[in-house]
Amino acid sequence: MKILITGATGLIGKAIIRLALNRNFKVNYLTRDKTKIKSSANCNGFYWDINKDYIDLKCFEGVNVIINLAGEKIFQKWTNQAKKEILFSRIKPINLLIKGIKSSKKIGIKSFISASAIGIYQSNFEKYYSEDEIDDPRNFIQKIVCDWEKKSLSVRKYIPNTSILRIGLVLSKNDGYMKETDFPMKFGFGIQLGSGEQWQSWIHIDDIANIFLFIAKLNLSGIYNAVAPKPLTQKEFLKKIRETNSRKFIIIKLPIFFLRFLFGERACLLIDSHRVSSKKIIKLGYKFLYNEADHALNNLYKRNDNLT
Ligand SMILES: NC(=O)c1ccc[n+]([C@@H]2O[C@H](COP(=O)([O-])OP(=O)(O)OC[C@H]3O[C@@H](n4cnc5c(N)ncnc54)[C@H](OP(=O)(O)O)[C@@H]3O)[C@@H](O)[C@H]2O)c1
């Protein structure tokens, strides 16, 4: 298998590359940063410039699967300009891939797998979301994720096996959700966000990388939630961290009005509740490496590599 990955220099992309190379797959990747282009026998970087509509067509040579992860970080100050960039950085790369696919002659791409996010679901404290429970978007996140999914699905015209992974909070040692949670803990505080009753559907970094390759291997199409089978409330999560982490901390409760004052509209990323089901991917035979949060956290805290 030869995989082309966009957004490959980020958290999830790096994990997929490591796993793919371990399995002796070949990897091409696209980056906007020329300093990140490296070449080796099995892994080769290629340049694209999304703003100038440029893509190095050599990146498609011999590729069977495209994994699309490109996108501006969501947890940043939501100015009007940033909001535009968050949306366009998910739409324009797909347009450019389509342009590349159309102009590459000898193309044998069998599947296209694109990232998405569980933020597409409405915040709800009771529902247990399966993939078909989508309502009209109400907030900025739902709107961009809907547009992102629509654009991803438009690739079906060229690559019928197109799939979307709605990713939950990725747990990894040195980046993303755990890095943010860990920061106040360095000073002895764990932060309870609002009531702490909001559901957090998490996934271990090794599982998310594994699921992308599982979908690729089975040539699946459709939409899949990519979350571990046992989501937790934010309060329960803090408890699990306290049990597994060697750091001692006291819990400070930040009320919702204060979070809204601090973060404005993007406070929804902290207080919204998403209890999301992974039954669909499990039914297809995917076996999670990390079902339980304490197992996932224990594994991450014990890791001494700098990669995850
Ligand atoms: N991590 C999570 O918890 C999580 C949860 C749900 C969904 N997701 C989604 O899954 C995807 C991958 O997540 P991640 O955590 O690996 O993200 P990440 O670490 O932020 O990496 C994203 C990559 O996208 C590229 N990128 C950044 N800004 C861009 C822009 N303006 N235009 C085009 N490309 C841009 C960058 O690659 P280059 O600089 O090399 O071009 C970057 O390495 C993202 O789209 C993210 O929204 C992540």
For the chain, the structural domain boundaries read 2-302
- Residue 232's alpha-carbon distances to 67, 122, 125, 134, 255, in angstroms, are 28, 17, 11, 21, 19
Reading the block at residue 194, the tokens are 């609002």
With tokens 């907030």, the residue in question is 139
Say what the pLDDT of residue 207 is.
Answer: 98
Ligand 1 pocket member 7 (CB < 6 A): yes
Q: Which atom of ligand 1 is nearest to the CA of 93?
A: 33
Atom 15 of ligand 1: nearest residue by CA position: 11
pLDDT band at 286 (very low <50, low <70, confident <90, very high): very high
- For the Cβ of 194 lying below 6 angstroms from any atom of ligand 1, the answer is no
What is residue 177's predicted lDDT score, i.e. its pLDDT? 83
- Pocket perturbation via mutation, ligand 1, pick of 6, 29, 30, 32 by most ligand atoms within 8 A of CB: 32
- In the beta sheet, which residues pair with residue 2? 26
Residues composing the chain = 308
Assess whether pLDDT exceeds 90 at residue 90.
Answer: yes
- Is 80 exceeded by the pLDDT of residue 164? yes
Question: What is each CA distance from 45 to 7, 64, 123, in whole angstroms?
Answer: 11, 16, 38
Lowest mean pLDDT among 73-77, 162-166, 174-178, 260-264: 174-178
Helix locations, the chain, DSSP H: 11-22, 80-103, 140-153, 176-185, 205-218, 234-244, 256-263, 268-271, 279-283, 293-302
Percent of the chain clearing pLDDT 70 (strictly above): 98
- Residue whose structure tokens are 């998403």: 274
Q: Over 80: is that where the pLDDT of 307 sits?
A: no
Specify the residue with its C-alpha closest to ligand 1, atom 43: 10
Residue 71: predicted pLDDT: 98
How far CA 14 is from CA of 7, 64, 220, 261, in Å, comes to 9, 19, 22, 35
User: What pLDDT shows up at residue 181?
Assistant: 85
CATH number of 2-302: 3.40.50.720
* Ligand 1 midpoint to CA 301 (Å): 24
Measured by CA distance, the residue closest to atom 48 of ligand 1 is 167
CA-closest residue to ligand 1 atom 23: 7
Instruction: Say yes or no: CB of residue 119 within 6 Å of ligand 1.
Output: no
Indicate if the pLDDT at residue 306 is higher than 70.
no
| Token pair belonging to 299 | 């594994």
Name the residue of 4, 5, 6, 12 whose CB sits within 8 Å of the most ligand 1 atoms, as the mutation to test its pocket: 12
Please name the residue whose Cα sits nearest to atom 28 of ligand 1: 72
Confidence check: pLDDT of 202 > 90: yes
CA-to-CA distance for 254 and 33, rounded, in angstroms? 38
Q: Whose CA is nearest to atom 12 of ligand 1?
A: 69
15 within ligand 1 shell (Cβ under 6 A): no
Phi/psi at 162 (5° precision): -110, 135
- Please determine, for residue 297, whether its predicted confidence score (pLDDT) is greater than 80: yes
Q: 304 is written with which tokens?
A: 């001494």
How many Cβ atoms from other residues are within 10 Å of residue 259's Cβ? 19
Residue 34 per-residue DSSP state: G
Ligand 1 centre from 216 Cα, in Å?
A: 19
Q: For atom 35 of ligand 1, which residue has the closest CA?
A: 71
Ligand 1, atom 20, residue with closest C-alpha: 73
